[in-house]
Chains A and B, each alone.
Chain A
Amino acid sequence: MIDSLLFIALPYLAIFVGVFGSIYRMRTAPMTYSSLSSQFLESKGLMWGSLPWHIGITVILLAHVIAFLAPGFWQSLVSHQTVLAAVESIGLGLSILCLLGLIILGLRRLTSAKLQAVTSVMDLVVILLLLLQVGLGMAIAVHCKWGSAWCSGTTTPYLWSLVTFQPDVTHISDLPLLVKAHIVGAWLFIFVIPFSRLVHMFAVPVEYLFRPPQNVVWTNPRKFNADNQHFVKEEARRHFLRAFAGIAFGGFLLSVGTFRNVFSFFFGPRLGRKEETELMELRLSRLESTVGQRKLELERQASNYILVGKLAELSPENGKYFIDFKMQPAIAFKGKDELPLLISAKCTHLGCTVGNKVDQQGRILCPCHVSYFDIVSGEPNAEAPAKAPLPHLGWVIMDERGKVLARRDASGKTSGDVQPELRVTARVYISKDQEGKA
């Protein structure tokens, strides 16, 4: 309960508030979007605090994002021991930078009177939250070592489950408390973004790389007359570049995983001779079975009767599988009246093959989702996911010479009987006309 609250409700709330809150604030009060730099009032502490903090957190966040967006790529990267150790060391180093930077930034806010004039409560909340988050991250790096490796099997699927709207807490519910606290901290962080100076991370001026140095703004329609075309072209080009860059980057991130597969197809480890033989054999046997199945099907369609087995072979507990005219599995039992009891083995829930062993209550089990079917009535048990009963099949009993001794149609109407002396040799069939009637 607390897990779903913290790891399903909170993230969705946080992302909703974080994204839409920031957009709303951008729309209604763009003036309040600022880095709110305090370098003007105090610069030395800022240098020693802000630089390490921002350098550290930028790279660390980037690594988190890559591990989340391209788990395959990331996993293959850190599966190498040296790389893993390097990633972990650099990560720890960066988190040390972050921590020291934050401490310096916090201290400078607390000690300088000038800075206190521009410090809001939210600033302190943000610093505390970040301190906590960085501290937890470092504790994880030490106590739950090599998170860069285990994240791709735990937190990454969790995050993806959130993204795909199929939240699955089980990925992380067993992780140590430290990790869970770190995750909760991250959601809180996202939550407070629109209420704090943290919005400045959305203001990273990437477009500066692409824009021309001078920026001239016209309020009269001159540009629409004289330079219209040039202007439009320039704008379009810039938009195209920006869109292209965005799409390319997104595509790059998304395709890294795919590319790895392509790469390993051509350059990855080759199958051994033995493995290859196995693979070919497997394929061959599959083909054979397909051919056999088809043949069988045709054969069946042609013949009027299909042998189920000798009447004597059937047992009341241990059913015998066979395939009916529709190429579907069915089971043959011996009923209480010493006559065959034929029941479909295709579960009415999702079509798995039902087991052939009868338990004490006279039921057979579909193992896929645990439905018990009574073999006499065909009805599933009350809790079972299957709701419809398994249908019974009709049968024909013939002696060795092909003389019909008894028959039962699908509705259960029996005619004829089998003399005890004939029971040893009598064979059970299903017949086409019965099938048709059923």
Chain B
Amino acid sequence: MNCRQVDKYLYDYCDDILNPEQRAQIEEHLLNCPICRRIVDESLLESTILHEQWEIPALPDDFTDRVINQIACTAIQANSSTIYPHSQNHKKWSRRFISLAAMGAILLIMLYGPALLKNSGLIQIADQEPASLKTTRESIMAGKADQESLKAPAGAAGSEEIKQETANGANRQKDQEESPSSPAGEIKESYGTHSVTISNNDNSQAQDLNLMKAETAATPEAFPVQPVNLPASYVLLNKVDTAGSSTYTFGRSQSEEQIIINIAQLPLRQPVTSTYSRGYYIREEAAPAADKSEIQSGKGVTSPSEEQGTKDLGAQPQEQAKSKALPTTNTISYELEFNNQKFLLTISAKLPAEELSMISRDLQLSATK
């Protein structure tokens, strides 16, 4: 072993972690090399001093209690969503993430933008999707007799692919309204493998029912809960599962009365302790006098998705039940807890407020089989 190798293993030798063979080789070299001998001696002294335990002052006696208290305080702060030190880091990371996401988006646009522009049909569909979605929801919820013709662009094979990818659940899958080339009174829908053609006729309920069935057919997952305990006279007409919500339509056999119940799964914001509680209010709107049997699209009814977005869930319960006789559409919206999960229920029906209130009180949730 030479001086260079001794230097390599110098501190391992001083810390006594070399194997006996290596140790013997170093000691053999040290016998004949006073320079290395001196360096090793100095390093040995340094190692000895380094190994000597420093005097560490004791922590206060109540240190453990303080830690536990701080943990409890931090937990409370976290639950009440107040700012605590870690949130600053989260904010920093959020800003970084947004910057990165923006850069990524710009890159994607630069890479794929020209290709998208070449196929203007795709952009057209993407632009028109929200409008058609709104129309569909209104149509489903209001039960209007839609005489307008809806038709998919003929031969838009590329657009079908895009729609299949983006719809994912198919509740948004609707086509352009008033297409000049489409035959009146026909709806054509494409769901990849699912293709549904609905003949338009005077029975708007049948049309809406078919629309719902088409959507249900393409829904990948069943919703975890279902409404139970409705009056026996109501039978389930239809059920539509979408991502995070489910809409049930109940009707009476000898009547046109319908109850539409939308159940939306809410994010679990804090541990749920009670098992069944509710606070609700009634939204009451008069139906147009000119048409008592049907409600015009976009009037008189708010769709469940809109309800979910606009209602203040923590609002004080209010009941504005005023009229029994008028054929009005009332909407009750409230939260229910089931299996430690919160759900937002929105019940709409052309029923007197008191009756709707009674139905909502009896209504319960059960797990979907």
Are A and B co-members of a single complex? Answer: no
Residues of A bordering B, CB below 8 Å? none
